[in-house]
Amino acid sequence: LEQLKYNKQNGRIATWISENESENGPLPENVTEANNTIEKFIVDSNPDALKKTKNNIEKFDQMEAAVVLSDGTIVDGNRRFTALRLLSKEGKGQKFNYIKAVVLPNQTYSPKEIKALELNLQHAKEERVDYNPIDRLVDIYRDLLSESSAFTPEEYATEVDMPIKDVKKEMELAQLLVDYLEFIHQPHKYYIARQQNLNGPLREIQRILKSKKIEEDDAQDAKELLFSTITTVTGDATRKIRSMANVITNRELLHNTLDELDETLNDLDESFESEFVKDNAKERHTIEVPVEISGKINNVVEKKIETTRLAGAQKAPLEALGKANNFMGNVDVRALKLLADGSAEDNEEIKILISAIKSKLNEIEETI
């Protein structure tokens, strides 16, 4: 174990690496110190999964080989490596002082080939996909969208055994994540997105922004209004964003909301540079804007959401009438006549239903 080292580019701990770099600078050059730091990331990122792996290895030994480079870098098996390190420290026995692994000569493979192998091993098997969703998006951004990206979408889709359309959808989501962090003036501080649990809200934003009801000229404003809401909402952010769909896709209502919040959104942007917000981002890894700003945004947004709900309720009778008409169109008259001719009981039930429908139509017509 002492001859091995964690892969600093491992996608499972992308947000933890960014957090450490933001607070403490780059990881130590000393392998032992770097390993100790990354071990903590692995433990904290998914303690339940690590405990399960550790217990399994202690009980059944190492059932699956890791993959390492000849310089000691772990390509696949970081969790197993961590579990063995912990068991070794606990003095559980000599067999936990080493890892069973396939060893590859690192001089033979390019960085891209090594990353492709990692993707294949860690993503292609369905049961192995247990990344934190935000770490997964960071990995996709690095591999496909950043300046140093090495893969085309087609290559990436092949390595992770994923439809190309799904890869492109995840790329859009990864870009949305980066856009959000830039919006709050915390570029590439991915750990904030992890702390805010943004996977759900971002997916809702992605779905809303794909609506054909949104004019191209309004797309950026719509996105920033949704981002603003994320920073101010308390409770279930995913549900709140979902409830904004009818506000964002109604151009008049969207513009009214933006006009009403014009000065407040400017104040929000300025607050992102304030010491209050910066200190919270650094200490608590989240964004907490001044109460007067968040209160104003929440009140206006909730008022607009309620407007769409009332409009929906007012249109409900018309929608019900439309559905009734559609259902009537589905009635096969010839089949109904066969039922009426073939059974006196069916004939009587048909007459009762026709009478009820006529009565309701008369009531509607007379009222209107």
Dump pLDDT digits (tens) for 329-338: 888 999 999 9
Rounded average pLDDT over 262-287: 91
- Dihedral sign (CA 65, 66, 70, 71): negative
First to last CA, the chain: 82
Residue 123: what pLDDT? Answer: 66
Q: List, for residues 119-173, the tens digit of each pLDDT value.
A: 888 765 544 446 689 999 999 999 999 998 989 999 999 988 899 999 999 999 9
Burial label for 158, CB within 10 Å (0-12, 13-18, 19+), is: middle
Q: List, for residues 30-74, the tens digit of each pLDDT value.
A: 999 999 999 999 999 889 989 999 999 999 998 889 999 999 999
CA 260 to chain centre: 30
**CB hemisphere CA count around 269 (13 angstroms):** 9
How many other CB atoms sit within 10 Å of the CB of residue 193? 28
Residue 127: what pLDDT? Answer: 43
Residue 124: what pLDDT? Answer: 54
Residues 232-265: b if buried by 16+ CB within 10 A, e if exposed = bbeeebbebbbbbbbbbbbeebbeebbebbeebb
Tell me whether strands 74-76 and 101-104 are parallel, antiparallel or unpaired: unpaired
Residue 319: what pLDDT? Answer: 82
What percent of the chain has a predicted confidence (pLDDT) above 70?
Answer: 98
Least confident segment among 10-19, 125-134, 241-250 = 125-134
Q: Give the SS3 label for residue 69.
A: strand
Residue 265: what pLDDT? Answer: 97
Q: Where are the domains of the chain?
A: 331-367
30 DSSP assignment: S
Rounded average pLDDT over 242-255: 96
Q: Above 70 in pLDDT, residue 348?
A: yes
* Gap between the Cα atoms of 199 and 170, Å rounded: 11
- What is the reported pTM? 0.76
* Gap between the Cα atoms of 44 and 16, Å rounded: 9
Residue 144: what pLDDT? Answer: 95
Going by pLDDT thresholds of 50, 70 and 90, the confidence category of residue 21 is confident
Q: Tokens 């992102």 appear where?
A: 272
Q: List, for residues 74-100, the tens digit of each pLDDT value.
A: 999 999 999 999 999 999 999 999 999
What percent of the chain has a predicted confidence (pLDDT) above 90?
Answer: 70
Least confident segment among 35-39, 130-134, 275-279, 322-326 = 130-134
